[in-house]
Amino acid sequence: MTSQEIRQKFLDFFKKKGHAVVPSASLIPENDPTTLFTGSGMQPMIPYLLGEKHPEGKRISDSQKCFRDVDIDEVGDNRHLTFFEMLGNWSLGDYFKREQLPWFFEFLTKELKLDPRRFYITAFRGNQEIGVDKDSESVEIWKQIFREAGVEAKDIDSAEKNGMKDGRIFYYDETKNWWSRSGSPSDMPVGEIGGLNSEVFYDLGADLKLHESSPFKDKPCHLNCDCGRFVELGNSVFIEFIKTEKGFNSLSQKNVDFGGGFERIVMVAQGEKSPFETDLFSNLIKKIEALSSRQYSDATKAMRIIADHIRAVSFIMGDDKGIIPSNLDQGYVVRRLIRRAIRYGRQLEIKQDLWTKEIAKEVIEDYKDVYPEMERNKEFVLNNLDEEETKFKKTLEKGLKEFEKMALRREPDKHGGVGVTHDQEELYGEDAFYLYQTYGFPPEMMEEMCKERGIEFDWNGFKTELKKHQELSRTASAGKFKSGLADTSEETKKLHTAAHLLLAALRKVLGDHVVQKGSNITAERLRFDFSHPEKMTDEQKQEVEKIVNEVIEKDLPVECQEMSLKEAKKQGAMGVFESKYGDKVKVYSIGDYSREICAGPHVERTGRLGHFKIIKEQSSSAGVRRIKAILE
């Protein structure tokens, strides 16, 4: 079965079960400044899981393009990619566990004809402290499913300590089998929804001896062991709780969110040992073999990384949003992936100039029927690859030489003479920053190069240098702060501070579900997008204005503190809990009234703002409202 057929089979299967099949959302999230990329099928569905009506009904299915920067170091193993497709199906207040669990199993064993004995299951263990019982309902359903398939299915607890024995269904705690946007049950604010999940794993076989050769060999192998023997294929999340002051209550609308890794499902359906050996990657690997005159079997890791990275950037740049390699946000991720791929290409001694586009051409050819935007943006992708490759190759060789010198430094001996040459213990921050600025070496790439040499990479030193430099060139270079400010005039700063007051007031008046979805501030007005399912009433708008103006009149100081992300979260700061360079953030507080992670700048006291006025409140997109406001 080809991968195309498998994707189609999944969508057809759920269509037959009454689902509307919808196209993938963009890889670049709309109106969501909290994250750079769409990383799961659920992400674009959140408004509907929160109660917004989906135009296509209560049963939805799709294949969603996903990108996970956090998995980049895992690429090369037998199951992680940066870009992947997530097959999904959703019940928005319709069916629940009794349908969902048997359906996915039916798809795997009947449609894909996989052996039922290869599948293993996880379920939530239960936690008395939070008052949520173990997921006996799912376990009973699974037992019946396996019984009907003629497979014995015992449920076993604590396999991570005691081994799997002869179990089929395994209990894990909330770090594995609980879902909410904020993470574990204790991190969830009152009013947030969450639920249990149940995962399906596939056994690649003990004969592969993955466990024996892994760093985990002294511990028992179990489903969530990282050795790679068991691969998670899919995860059914059952959203059924809402957190209250007193604990968890049942929701009236219960939802199902299912996400399955397409490349992993193709890999087991095609009987392969990793996604890279499936037809999803075969053309790319063949191309890399041809370009490098090397064999996949003896350059596996490098070829996997190149294939993954060029495929990922082809999708990101191929996604109508016009993302190009740069030093900011998504563009920086693209740049980093391309440059890392080029460095691996150098290791493989690829001779051809401008070779990255040759691989992108294969990606586009393979996917253009399913994702027509790839064909539309083909020239854009290829040209940008050429440009970035040209740029980086100009400096790569020189930069590598410099790096060698810096990593292997001659130090004077005690008497001032020429001392011994020895490996540095680390690449100093200033040196790293020099390589970054002069030769365009992404810090993550240098960290990897340091690791290969067994030396440390001085992240803190690098960040300090970067900050110094940014402070100098801030206004000039970027022309735009991350916070969405167009300039730093006094008027703009005032409106920026007003935006913080506005968010706090909206949360007071409308509820804690309100989070910022985007903002754009000029010297004349502020535009502010936030999550809220319906039009605001006139009374609500007046109430918001009143609260903001009261805080302005109090003339409160606007204070800025630097702290760790963790601390900021603990203090209940609003904002983007993601950071590119380490985890120090700025938190701006206005009395007890507002606390936000933010890059600034702001005015010093609220008294400067004048009179706050909402001039428009309108819809921005599904589940997102937009306010335009001014200061008079």
Q: Is residue 259 a contact residue for ligand ATP (CB under 6 A)?
A: yes
Is residue 200 within 8 A of residue 119, CB to CB? The reply is: yes
Please report, as residue ranges, which positions from 35 to 64 form the binding site for ligand ATP (by CB under 6 A).
Answer: 40
If binding is defined by CB under 6 A, does position 263 make contact with ligand ATP? Answer: yes
How far apart are the C-alpha atoms of 240 and 171, rounded to whole Å? 19
Of 37 and 84, the one with the shorter C-beta distance to ligand ATP is 84
Which of 67, 84, 355, 433: binder of ligand ATP (CB under 6 A)?
Answer: 84
Encoded amino acid at 173, one letter: D
- Pairwise CA distance, residues 145 & 378, whole Å: 46
Pairwise CA distance, residues 370 & 372, whole Å: 6
Q: By CB under 6 A, tell whether 233 contacts ligand ATP.
A: yes
Q: Does 194 bind ligand ATP (CB under 6 A)?
A: no
Residue with the closest Cβ to ligand ATP? 261
Under the binding rule (CB under 6 A), the answer on residue 7 touching ligand ATP is no
Measure the CA dihedral 486/572/570/557, to 10°: 70
Q: Whose CA is closest to 350, among 393, 293, 390?
A: 293
Among 33, 167, 228, 234, binds ligand ATP (CB under 6 A): 234
Per CB under 6 A, 122 contacts ligand ATP: no
Task: Tell me how far, at minimum, the Cβ of 470 lies from ligand ATP, in Å.
Answer: 31
Q: Is 71 in the site for ligand ATP (CB under 6 A)?
A: yes
Least Cβ distance, residue 608 to ligand ATP (angstroms): 45
Least separation in angstroms between CB 596 and ligand ATP: 28
When the beta carbons of 14 and 457 are compared against ligand ATP, the nearer one is 14
CA R_g for the chain: 26
DSSP, collapsed to helix, strand or coil, labels residue 539 as helix
β-strand partners of 198: 236
- Rounded Cα gap, residues 347 and 452, in angstroms: 13
Report how many residues bind ligand ATP under the rule CB under 6 A: 17
Shortest distance in whole angstroms from residue 288 CB to ligand ATP: 19
Q: Binding to ligand ATP by residue 81, rule CB under 6 A?
A: yes
**Span interacting with ligand ATP, options 128-136, 160-168, 255-263, 488-496, rule CB under 6 A:** 255-263
Residue 446 near residue 436, CB atoms below 8 Å: yes
In angstroms, the CA 397 to CA 342 distance is 11
Helix and strand counts by DSSP (H, E) for the chain: 19, 21
- Least Å distance, CB 568 to ligand ATP, is 24
**Does position 235 bind ligand ATP by CB under 6 A?**
yes
Q: Is 257 in the site for ligand ATP (CB under 6 A)?
A: no
The residue from 232, 277, 319, 447 that contacts ligand ATP (CB under 6 A) is 232
Q: Which stretch binds ligand ATP (CB under 6 A): 257-265, 294-302, 471-479, 619-627?
A: 257-265
Tell me how far, at minimum, the Cβ of 629 lies from ligand ATP, in Å: 38
Query: Omega into 372 within 30° of 0, i.e. cis?
Result: no
264 binds ligand ATP (CB under 6 A): yes
Helices (H), 408-455: 429-439, 443-453
DSSP string, 83-98: EEEEEEEEEESS--HH
- Could you say which of 80, 287, 357, 626 contacts ligand ATP (CB under 6 A)? 80
Q: Which is nearer to ligand ATP, 172 or 462 (CB)?
A: 172
Q: Which of 64, 82, 500 is nearest to 276 (CA)?
A: 82
End-to-end Cα distance, the chain: 66
Q: Binding mask 126-155 vs ligand ATP (x if CB under 6 A, - otherwise)?
A: ------------------------------
8 A C-beta contact, residue 20 and residue 100: no
Q: Residues with Cβ < 8 Å from 53, sequence gap 6 or more?
A: none
- Which H or E run includes 422? strand 418-423
Contact range with ligand ATP by CB under 6 A, out of 56-64, 75-83, 453-461, 473-481: 75-83
Choice between 307 and 526, CB closer to ligand ATP: 307
CA 63 to chain centre: 17
- Tell me the C-alpha distance between 46 and 42, whole Å: 6
- Tell me: does residue 601 bind ligand ATP (CB under 6 A): no
266 near ligand ATP, judged by CB under 6 A:
no
**Identified binder of ligand ATP from the candidate list 260, 440, 442, 575, rule CB under 6 A:** 260
Question: What span, in angstroms and rounded, lies between the C-alpha atoms of 174 and 183?
Answer: 9
Q: Is 395 helix (H, G, I), strand (E, B) or coil?
A: helix
Q: Which is nearer to ligand ATP, 64 or 330 (CB)?
A: 64
User: Residue 225 CB, nearest distance to ligand ATP (Å)?
Assistant: 11
CA 265/CA 102 separation, integer angstroms: 17
Please say which residue, 71 or 140, places its beta carbon nearer to ligand ATP: 71
Nearer to ligand ATP, 80 or 532 (CB): 80
Return residues touching ligand ATP (CB under 6 A): 40, 68, 71, 79-81, 84, 86, 232-235, 259-261, 263-264
